[in-house]
Amino acid sequence: MYIFQSRSILLNKYKDSNTIKNFIDFSDPDADWSYITWLKSITKLPIVVKGVLTAEDAIAAADAGASAIIVSNHGARQLDSLPSTIEALPEVVKAVGRRIEVYMDGGIRDGTDVYKALGLGARMVFIGRPALWGLTHDGEKGVKKILEILKKELDNAMGITGCSKLTDINQDRVVHESYYARL
């Protein structure tokens, strides 16, 4: 009900906006994986699917032709009971193997979070809040400073764990809840 009300309000308020119409088209609850096939038919650009939290969706995205997926719970703003992205990441990575790249969005607050995500199989992470904190504090210089801090923290974590390059970071170097299941 809320979704349909929101769409109706948006369409009435911004009835001349193609951006809103396109957003509504792509937030259709009846959307299926054939949209990826359609998108691939009209562009040569890579198709990246965001919001993947399960093995089943990861496999479906890969089967539909996605170039990559982003493990994301959209900041848990839409549903506050969603798993954290770091919790969902290992299952998603295992499901698609090396078929497509897996990225992670959400929960990155420091360099050790980057380290953990890379260790659990993410090829890249997206950083939101820390960059916004830097921007709010000191504009562009603040963002640069935050990125420098994150890099230094990542470098420190790598040094402590004996990793000289990013590809040295692996699941065996990350203590995750799955580690305790083996005990």
**Cα–Cα dist 130/153, whole Å:** 13
137 classed as catalytic: no
SS3 101: strand
Residues in Cβ contact with 21 at an 8 Å cutoff, skipping those fewer than 6 apart? 11
- Of the residues 7, 21, 50, 74, only one is catalytic, namely 74
**Is 171 exposed, middle or buried, given 0-12, 13-18 or 19+ CB atoms closer than 10 A?**
middle
Q: Which helix (H) or strand (E) holds 183?
A: none
Residue located via tokens 């948006």: 10
**Cα–Cα dist 145/152, whole Å:** 10
Point out the residues that are catalytic. Answer: 74
